[in-house]
């Protein structure tokens, strides 16, 4: 299986990734927001598409604890299991704000639907091998299968790992498993040899006895605001408030787990 981005030299510098996120300015488009999957319209709520990862759980805390409403933010979280599903949400206009990968955002060719970075969030990832596969280091991945999301920064990271260990393109097989829960299950059940997982899924695998081969913090992911929301003064204010809510919720959750 060929690499998708062969010339990746190292993990992107945060500043470089954030430069990618700006891509180009959006043109005027008509508003496509307000209805959820059931067709129920809520014109007041800021719709935020999220992934099942630790970094998005901060917003869940803000919603469930009443912090968001207490700070004046009416927010609806729209859950997705995979970054590719998030792409679909972007293209279909299902939310005002999305948790996305700037690398994938820049692959959207239409300026009118390409979001721009609102709040960068570092994302913790681990490369984990199944405990029964006998893989103790990166070289042990040769001829084995690693589950990841295609055309993502996590794939770039995997390319950097294998390149730095002198591996060829065909030495490790990449399995495109976009759903995070499915990728977790396939590593845990030994259906694939290893996988790249975010938190808390990665630590759950470790608690089951599986092995960490590498870990990293990726920059360039975070919350993006849609072009339509950028042109709407109400959505702009809500998006700015979302940033404040997120940072306050992050502080609260960090204080909670700090000894």
Contact residues for 75 (Cβ-Cβ < 8 A; gap 6+) = 45, 46, 48, 59, 62, 63, 68, 238, 242, 245
pLDDT in tens, 39-96: 334 578 999 999 999 999 999 999 999 999 999 999 999 999 999 898 888 888 899 9
pLDDT in tens, 113-156: 889 999 999 999 999 999 999 999 999 999 999 999 988 999 99
User: 211-236 b/e with 16+ CB inside 10 Å = b?
Assistant: bebbebebbbbbbbbbbbbbebeebe
The band of 258, judged by pLDDT with boundaries at 50, 70 and 90, is very low
Give the pLDDT mean for 205-214.
98
The band of 33, judged by pLDDT with boundaries at 50, 70 and 90, is very low
Give the pLDDT mean for 195-208.
98
For CATH 3.40.190.10, the residue range(s) in the chain are: 14-121+222-257, 123-218
The band of 106, judged by pLDDT with boundaries at 50, 70 and 90, is confident
pLDDT recorded at residue 241? 98
pLDDT at 169 over 60: yes
Q: Is pLDDT larger for residue 28 or for residue 239?
A: 239
Give the pLDDT mean for 196-207.
98
pLDDT recorded at residue 256? 56
Q: Is 93 left (phi over 0), alpha (psi -120 to 50) or beta?
A: left
pLDDT recorded at residue 25? 35
pLDDT at 27 over 60: no
pTM recorded for the entire structure: 0.81
Superfamily of domain 14-121+222-257: Periplasmic binding protein-like II (3.40.190.10)
pLDDT at 4 over 70: no
Q: Are 21 and 118 in contact (CB under 8 A)?
A: no
pLDDT in tens, 5-21: 232 222 233 333 333 33
Q: How high is the mean pLDDT of the chain? A: 83
Q: Select 123-218's CATH number: 3.40.1170.60, 3.40.190.10, 3.40.50.2300, 1.10.3720.10.
A: 3.40.190.10
Q: Is pLDDT larger for residue 144 or for residue 105?
A: 144
């Amino acid at each position: 299986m060929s690499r998708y981005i062969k010339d990746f030299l190292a993990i992107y510098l945060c500043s470089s990734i954030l430069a990618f996120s700006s891509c180009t300015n959006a043109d005027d488009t008509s508003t496509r927001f307000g209805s959820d999957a059931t067709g129920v319209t809520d014109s007041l709520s800021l719709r935020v598409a999220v992934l099942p990862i630790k970094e998005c759980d901060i917003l869940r805390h803000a919603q469930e604890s009443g912090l968001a409403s207490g700070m004046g933010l009416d927010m609806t979280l729209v859950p997705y299991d995979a970054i590719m599903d998030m792409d679909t949400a972007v293209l279909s206009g299902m939310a005002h704000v999305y948790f996305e990968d700037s690398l994938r955002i820049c692959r959207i060719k239409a300026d009118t639907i390409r979001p721009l970075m609102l709040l960068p969030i570092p994302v913790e990832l681990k490369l984990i091998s199944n405990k029964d596969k006998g893989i103790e280091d990166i070289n042990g991945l040769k001829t084995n299968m690693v589950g990841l999301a295609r055309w993502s920064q996590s794939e770039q990271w995997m390319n950097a790992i294998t390149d730095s260990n002198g591996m060829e393109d065909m030495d490790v097989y990449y399995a495109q498993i976009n759903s995070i829960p499915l990728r977790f299950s396939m590593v845990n059940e030994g259906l694939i040899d290893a996988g790249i997982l975010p938190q808390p899924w990665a630590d759950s695998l470790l608690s089951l006895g599986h092995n960490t081969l590498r870990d990293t913090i990726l920059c360039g992911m975070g919350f993006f605001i849609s072009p339509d929301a950028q042109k709407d003064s109400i959505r702009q204010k809500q998006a700015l408030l979302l940033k404040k809510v997120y940072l306050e919720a992050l502080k609260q959750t960090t204080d909670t787990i700090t000894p």
